[in-house]
């Protein structure tokens, strides 16, 4: 097995990378440990709670006991399937805010400012209903909006407007700030994963999908020459004539680097791994979004709870299988908001996903029946964690320590999120629908009571990133340079969410695909010309919260 480029991981960035390299006439092998992505639980948007809770599709990682969350171990799912996490995620599509990328650039990721990435976002998208001039119209990734025909979904946007917030017709266009429709990687009623958008077309152009678990990068005198793959108990070498590209997730990419001798020298020595390059930043800088959901009982039977029984689920499933329509054709996240927590914050730092049912991530509906909920969380937590090896055995899970809520500002931000959400739910638009507060419950009011609720109920939004941070080559904490090349070795790049210097606003699937698209161009020695487009910033941001 040999090709010009060997890509580890058929996830969001890896699939995009494979497509662009194959399109340019390069030979490509994509090595993926996970299995087939064709099952109905993956492809039916309304079934999104199933695949991320299924062992066959998920690596099944857990965080270490989180010291600031009462020692809880939080689920840290990553897709172990063709399409990676784009095949098991909630399908929400968010580019991130323009200022996120300007921050990347200012922190040493030269060439990654908003002007640099905007043309790549436009290249990767086919936007259905987005803002003209700001969105792509003929890219591989279909981005659509739900019908928003549930009255609760419309009430959420109206309540935001009544509370004095901005509205936006396209948070992925000129103006992120405000309440408006949510976008999703759904096309013709089915999940539009990176596998469907990029990998299948890449395979038609000659890219090869090779099944197996990569155990290490093969190094020869400081140069990556291939990867070792375990399949069916046997090990083989898949060789790369030009480069090896790691697109294995914010957990597995740093794990593979460390297993290959690239990482913090003392940590590798603890596990008896020969040092190839001392990069102390490998596995550091781990970031994520945390969120809570505030649940309200509904006084009218308008929520999706009416389908939360055997007959209802059978109807939804059968209708979707036969026609690709109905509740099963939507992820049900159809209204969104990005707002600022206080005056003096220049761009949104709180995100909302609204859901017209009261339900947990594991698919368990609230026992009380009809209801609705808003998922809310801060966007730019100051807390940082790490990924480390537990063993030199490639089959061992990595040690994932997020260090959630380790900064006082995190607690302040979450209390603000809860109080602002309660205010939105108290607006006239919800008066015909809102009953009592199920969670946290009206009795939970003081800072101490809110902190107790946060500690017990906060959950990951499943947006890990940052563990192979991109920066200048003379930055001792950087792992890759702005072209994705691993500093200190030759022939090895990283292209996935692990290269993010700082987490972006919103869900990370879109920015992860962007990384695959843009680093593919760096591999090919080309670049789209920058576009100078000025995003909307609230004119009174220094003195007004809304």
**Residues 204-245 pLDDT 10s:** 999 999 999 999 999 999 999 999 999 988 999 999 999 999
Query: What's the average model confidence in pLDDT over 436-455?
Result: 96
Q: What is the pLDDT of residue 146?
A: 94
Residue 505 reports pLDDT greater than 90:
yes
Q: Count Cβ neighbours within 10 Å for each residue of 257-278 and write b for 16 or more, e otherwise.
A: bbbbbbbbeebbeebebeebbe
Tell me if 420 sits within 8 A of 339, measured CB to CB: yes
CB-CB neighbours of 53 under 10 Å: 16
Q: Is 221 exposed, middle or buried (0-12, 13-18, 19+ CB in 10 A)?
A: exposed
Q: How far apart are CA 429 and CA 154, in angstroms?
A: 9
Q: What is the pLDDT of residue 63?
A: 98
Residue 365 reports pLDDT greater than 90:
no
Handedness of CA 66, 68, 71, 76 (dihedral sign): negative
To the query of whether residue 463 is one of the catalytic residues in this protein, the response is yes
Residue 362 reports pLDDT greater than 70:
no
**DSSP calls for 185-209:** SEETTEE--HIIIIIHHHHHTT-EE
Dump pLDDT digits (tens) for 463-499.
999 999 999 999 999 999 999 999 999 999 999 999 9
CB-CB neighbours of 492 under 10 Å: 27
Q: How far apart are CA 488 and CA 293, in angstroms?
A: 44
Q: Which helix (H) or strand (E) holds 179?
A: strand 178-181
Q: Find out whether 214 is annotated in a ligand binding site.
A: yes
Q: Is 234 exposed, middle or buried (0-12, 13-18, 19+ CB in 10 A)?
A: exposed
Q: How far apart are CA 233 and CA 180, in angstroms?
A: 51
Q: Which helix (H) or strand (E) holds 316?
A: helix 310-323
Q: Find out whether 92 is annotated in a ligand binding site.
A: yes
Q: Tokens in use for 185?
A: 């990687």
Rg (Cα) of the chain, in Å, rounded?
A: 22
Tell me if 125 sits within 8 A of 136, measured CB to CB: yes
Q: Find out whether 89 is annotated in a ligand binding site.
A: yes
Q: Tokens in use for 101?
A: 């990328």
Q: Is 214 exposed, middle or buried (0-12, 13-18, 19+ CB in 10 A)?
A: buried
**Which listed residue (375, 463, 522, 538) is catalytic?**
463
Q: Which of 52, 1, 64, 7 is nearest to 33 (CA)?
A: 7
Tell me if 11 sits within 8 A of 194, measured CB to CB: yes
- pTM higher than 0.85, yes or no? yes
Dump pLDDT digits (tens) for 133-159.
999 999 999 999 999 999 999 999 999
| Domain covering 1-67+75-139+184-285+464-532 in this structure, CATH number | 3.50.50.60
Secondary structure E strands in 320-432: 335-339, 350-355, 371-378, 386-388, 399-401
Tell me if 267 sits within 8 A of 388, measured CB to CB: yes
Residue 366 reports pLDDT greater than 70:
no
Place of tokens 């597995």: 252
Query: What's the average model confidence in pLDDT over 171-197?
Result: 98
Tell me if 87 sits within 8 A of 476, measured CB to CB: no
Q: What is the location of CATH 3.30.410.40 in the chain?
A: 147-181+290-378+405-457
Residue 160 reports pLDDT greater than 80:
yes
% of the chain beyond a pLDDT of 70 = 99
Dump pLDDT digits (tens) for 260-282.
999 999 999 999 999 999 999 99
Tell me if 420 sits within 8 A of 159, measured CB to CB: no
Q: Tokens in use for 106?
A: 């200012």
Query: What's the average model confidence in pLDDT over 163-175?
Result: 98
Residue 367 reports pLDDT greater than 90:
no
Q: How far apart are CA 77 and CA 61, in angstroms?
A: 6
Residue 40 reports pLDDT greater than 90:
no
Q: How far apart are CA 380 and CA 100, in angstroms?
A: 10
Q: How far apart are CA 193 and CA 408, in angstroms?
A: 37
Residue 123 reports pLDDT greater than 80:
yes
Domain 147-181+290-378+405-457 annotated CATH 3.30.450.80 = no
DSSP 186: E
Q: Count Cβ neighbours within 10 Å for each residue of 319-330 and write b for 16 or more, e otherwise.
A: bbeeebebbbbb
Would residue 99 be called left, alpha or beta, if left means φ above 0 and alpha means ψ between -120 and 50 degrees?
A: alpha
Tell me if 284 sits within 8 A of 386, measured CB to CB: yes
Query: Average per-residue pLDDT in the chain?
Result: 96
Q: What is the location of CATH 3.50.50.60 in the chain?
A: 1-67+75-139+184-285+464-532
Secondary structure E strands in 332-485: 335-339, 350-355, 371-378, 386-388, 399-401, 434-439, 459-460
Q: How far apart are CA 436 and CA 376, in angstroms?
A: 19
Q: Find out whether 331 is annotated in a ligand binding site.
A: no
Q: How far apart are CA 268 and CA 304, in angstroms?
A: 51
Dump pLDDT digits (tens) for 307-353.
988 999 999 999 999 999 999 999 999 999 999 999 999 999 999 99
Q: How far apart, in Å, are the Cα atoms of 4 and each of 29, 231, 245, 476, 523?
A: 8, 22, 11, 30, 11
């Amino acid at each position: 097995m040999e090709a010009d480029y060997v890509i580890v991981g058929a996830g969001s960035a890896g699939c995009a990378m494979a497509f662009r390299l194959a399109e340019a006439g390069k030979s490509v092998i994509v090595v993926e440990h996970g299995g087939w992505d064709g099952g109905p639980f993956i492809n039916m948007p309304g079934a999104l709670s199933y695949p991320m809770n299924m062992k066959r599709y998920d690596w099944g990682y857990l965080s270490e006991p989180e010291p600031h969350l009462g020692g809880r171990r939080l689920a840290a799912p990553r897709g172990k399937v063709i399409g990676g996490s784009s095949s098991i995620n909630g399908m929400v599509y968010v580019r991130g805010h323009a200022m996120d990328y300007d921050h990347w650039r200012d922190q040493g990721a030269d060439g990654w400012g908003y002007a640099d990435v905007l043309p790549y976002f436009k290249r990767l998208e086919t936007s259905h209903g987005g803002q003209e001039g700001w969105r792509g119209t003929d890219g591989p990734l279909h981005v659509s909006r739900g019908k928003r025909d549930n009255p609760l979904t419309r009430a959420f946007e109206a309540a935001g407007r009544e509370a004095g917030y901005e509205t936006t017709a396209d948070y992925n266009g000129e103006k992120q700030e405000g309440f408006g429709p949510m976008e999703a990687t759904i096309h013709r009623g089915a999940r539009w994963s990176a596998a469907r958008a990029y990998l299948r077309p890449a395979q038609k152009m000659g890219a090869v999908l090779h099944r197996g678990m990569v155990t290490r990068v093969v190094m020869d005198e400081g140069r990556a020459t291939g990867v070792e793959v375990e399949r069916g108990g046997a090990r083989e070498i898949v060789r790369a004539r030009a480069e090896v590209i790691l697109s294995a997730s914010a957990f597995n990419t740093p794990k593979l680097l460390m297993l290959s001798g690239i990482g913090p020298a003392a940590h590798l020595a603890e596990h008896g791994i020969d040092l190839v390059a001392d990069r102390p930043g490998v596995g550091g800088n781990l970031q994520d979004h945390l969120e809570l959901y505030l649940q309200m009982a509904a006084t009218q039977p308008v929520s999706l709870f009416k389908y939360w029984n055997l007959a209802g689920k059978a109807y939804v499933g059968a209708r979707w299988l036969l026609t690709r329509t109905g509740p099963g054709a939507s992820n049900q996240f159809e209204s969104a908001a990005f707002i600022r927590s206080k005056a003096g914050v220049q761009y949104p730092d709180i995100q909302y996903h609204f859901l017209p049912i009261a339900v947990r991530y594991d698919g368990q509906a609230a026992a009380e029946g009809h209801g609705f909920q808003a998922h809310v969380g801060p966007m730019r937590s100051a807390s940082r964690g790490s990924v480390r090896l537990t063993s030199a055995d490639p089959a061992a899970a990595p040690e994932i320590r997020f260090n959630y809520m380790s900064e006082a500002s995190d607690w302040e931000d979450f209390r603000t999120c809860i109080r602002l959400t309660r205010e939105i739910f108290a607006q006239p638009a919800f008066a015909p629908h809102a009953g009592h507060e199920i969670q946290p419950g009206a009795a939970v009011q003081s800072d101490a009571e809110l902190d107790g609720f946060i500690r017990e109920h906060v959950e990951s939004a499943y947006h890990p990133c940052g563990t192979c941070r991109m920066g200048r080559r003379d930055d001792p904490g950087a792992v890759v340079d702005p072209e994705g090349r691993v500093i200190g070795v030759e022939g090895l790049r990283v292209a996935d969410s692990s290269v993010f210097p700082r987490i972006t606003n919103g869900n990370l699937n879109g920015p992860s695909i962007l990384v695959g698209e843009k680093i593919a161009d760096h591999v090919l020695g080309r670049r789209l010309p920058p576009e100078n487009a000025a995003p909307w910033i609230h004119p009174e941001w220094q003195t007004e919260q809304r």
